[in-house]
């Protein structure tokens, strides 16, 4: 047998082994695909809690009976309030449209005494408030700037009379009015959204008899509030 042929036959397996070893030694390149952050959306349902500080104005006017014509006055209720809110947003590109409702316990109190001529006194206390509103805003990443407006409700206690303080007589009323405001929502996490908001509310006018001592005298009031709220909500 030819010596060269024998050498060639012995070399072929060695070449195959070397090629296999080379393939194993050089791993195939791995392509790394960057993971991009999913764009945040305000669309969906949410539920939150808020606390705030409110200040307002309540005018008092006395009509009829022995107290009619007593000096009118203005009490300025102020204090803290807090409660819960919930809503749902729709989002198209940067435009956000939604609706929201809230209800709060409140402790806004104010009073006045006028001693010019016939003395009169009056006080107003807001015990709770609520609203149903629409929202329209513009989203920029995790920020949402919005305007809001709708119908508002509140529970008030009124006292007054042509007497020095403390006021002797009064009535309670659930008022309905309108509210408008603006705010800023900011998503601190995929499911958590913080908020700062200002709203002005006009509850209109109401009147009631000053029972039990002046049942024929009515005290008319006009009521407005301004409230700044801080809140945090969970988005489902």
Q: For 136-153, write each residue's pLDDT tens digit.
A: 999 999 999 999 999 999
**Prediction pTM value:** 0.81
Residue 10, pLDDT > 70, answer: no
The mean pLDDT of 11-38, rounded to a whole number, is 46
Count of structural domains, the chain: 1
Residue 15, pLDDT > 70, answer: no
Note the pLDDT of residue 113: 84
Asked whether residue 191 is assigned to any structural domain, the reply reads yes
Note the pLDDT of residue 17: 44
* 26-30 CB contacts, 8 Å cutoff, 24+ apart: none
The mean pLDDT of 23-30, rounded to a whole number, is 48
pLDDT band at 120 (very low <50, low <70, confident <90, very high): confident
Alpha-carbon distance of 112 to 109, in angstroms, equals 11
Asked whether residue 19 is assigned to any structural domain, the reply reads no
Q: Which CATH number characterizes residue 170's domain?
A: 2.40.160
Would you tell me how many other CB atoms lie within 10 Å of the CB of residue 235? 20
In the chain, the percentage of residues whose pLDDT exceeds 70 is 78
Peptide bond into 212 cis (omega under 30): yes
pLDDT band at 216 (very low <50, low <70, confident <90, very high): confident
182 touches 154 (CB < 8 A): no
Note the pLDDT of residue 56: 95
Residue 18, pLDDT > 70, answer: no
The mean pLDDT of 43-61, rounded to a whole number, is 96
* Nearest Cα residue to 127 out of 163, 174, 94, 88: 174
Note the pLDDT of residue 232: 98
Asked whether residue 43 is assigned to any structural domain, the reply reads no
Asked whether residue 47 is assigned to any structural domain, the reply reads no
Asked whether residue 159 is assigned to any structural domain, the reply reads yes
Asked whether residue 1 is assigned to any structural domain, the reply reads no
Peptide bond into 110 cis (omega under 30): no
Q: Is pLDDT larger for residue 65 or for residue 111? A: 111
Alpha-carbon distance of 83 to 167, in angstroms, equals 30
pLDDT band at 164 (very low <50, low <70, confident <90, very high): low
Expressed as residue numbers, the domain containing 115 is 52-235
Asked whether residue 26 is assigned to any structural domain, the reply reads no
Asked whether residue 27 is assigned to any structural domain, the reply reads no
């Amino acid at each position: 047998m030819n010596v060269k042929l024998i050498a060639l036959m012995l070399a072929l397996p060695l070449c195959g082994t070397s090629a296999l070893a080379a393939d194993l030694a050089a791993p195939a390149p791995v392509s790394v695909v960057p993971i991009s952050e999913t764009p945040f959306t305000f669309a969906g349902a949410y539920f939150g809690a808020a606390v705030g500080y409110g200040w307002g104005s309540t005018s008092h006017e006395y009509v009829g009976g022995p107290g009619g014509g007593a000096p009118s006055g203005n009490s300025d209720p102020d204090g803290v309030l807090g409660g819960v809110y919930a809503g749902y947003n729709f989002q198209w590109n940067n435009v956000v449209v939604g609706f929201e409702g809230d209800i709060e316990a409140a402790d806004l109190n104010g009073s006045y005494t006028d001693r010019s001529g016939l003395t009169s006194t009056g006080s107003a206390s807001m015990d709770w408030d609520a609203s149903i509103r629409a929202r329209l805003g513009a989203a920029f990443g995790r920020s949402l700037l919005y305007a809001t407006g709708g119908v508002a409700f509140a529970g008030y206690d009124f006292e007054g009379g042509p007497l020095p303080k403390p006021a002797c007589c009064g009535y309670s009323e659930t008022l309905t009015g309108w509210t408008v405001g603006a705010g800023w929502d900011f998503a601190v996490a995929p499911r958590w959204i913080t908020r700062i908001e200002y709203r002005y509310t006009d509850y209109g006018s109401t009147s009631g008899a000053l029972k039990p001592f002046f049942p024929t005298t009515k005290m008319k009031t006009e009521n407005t509030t301004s409230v700044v709220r801080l809140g945090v909500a969970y988005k489902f």
